[in-house]
Amino acid sequence: MIKLEITRLLKILKSFSPLTYTSIGVGIILIISVALMISLEAQFKESGKKNINIEKTPAQNIQNFNGNKISSTPAIVQAETPASTTAPSKLTATPTLTRTPNPPIGGISWPAEGETINATEDKLCFVDAGTGGDLSGVQRRKNINNGGWENFIPVYPTSDTCFYPKEGSNTFSIQFRNQYQEESSVYNRSFIFRKQIPTPTPKKDTTPPSITITSPAEGAIITQDAVCFNMNVTDNTSKTPNLWIIYKFEGGNWNAWTNSYSVCITSRGDNPTVIFSVKAKDEAGNESSPITRTITVKVN
């Protein structure tokens, strides 16, 4: 339509003079250019509205190439879930900690193997010790003279190393176990037990011995030249010959201690009266008081 109008204007312009024709032609060209620009702008706006409608309602405004309207209910296409581009994480297994077995190690330090023990008590307590390995929560059990194993009991604070051995040959065994139920080797010991009866300590003896003169009698008259004085000595603890006597005659000195209980004399000088003194002593050193005997010797 615009082309037809332009052709009609050109025919009108040919009827004017060349100068007028030129001036009018330039003006018309300007007018036509403006009109074309306005027309193109309107077309662009219309096209823009269709584009907007297409974006907003695609099922109602889009037509196919044959001019048929597309169904108002669009088919729903299920979008595929894109594969993840992130590499799958690897599960790291937590390692299980495995404990290396470490059973306790011990020993018996007393009595020595084969030792003879002379004891004054019926009870014997052996000495043992843990020397290595894992000793955490350590326990001990014992077997006395192959009588069977006792139960494990804590080593600390209860010692429980004592038992009553029999007279003569004895054996015992011990074994340790830690808190992980790991058991040590079995430790064995043999020994000889001798029960000694202690010698009682004697009480301090403070009692002196007793002494008597059995003959001759007090005041006796002896008609023979030789005279013998006989004694008897007793004590609460000491026995003969561990009882001693010491004697003297009047006017003389004490003789040496002797365990002979008979004293004889033959020389008495011119004095017929004989006074004999004697005393005794026991093992503890207790001395009796002196006793005397007076006799008369008359020899024709």
Angle between helices 2-13 and 18-56 (to 10 degrees): 170
Place of tokens 């003896």: 205
Same topology between domain 105-195 and domain 210-297: yes
CATH of domain 210-297: 2.60.40.10
User: Could you read off the pLDDT tens digit of each residue along the chain, which spans 300 residues?
Assistant: 555 555 665 566 566 555 555 666 666 677 777 667 776 666 656 555 554 444 444 444 444 434 444 444 455 545 555 555 555 556 666 667 788 999 999 999 999 999 999 988 899 999 888 889 999 999 999 999 999 999 999 987 666 889 999 999 999 999 999 999 999 999 999 999 998 877 777 778 899 999 999 999 999 998 888 889 999 999 988 888 889 999 998 888 999 999 999 998 886 667 788 899 999 999 999 999 999 999 988 876
Global pTM reads 0.39
Domain spans, the chain: 2-54, 105-195, 210-297
CATH of 105-195 among 2.60.40.10, 2.60.40.3950, 2.60.120.10, 2.60.120.200:
2.60.40.10
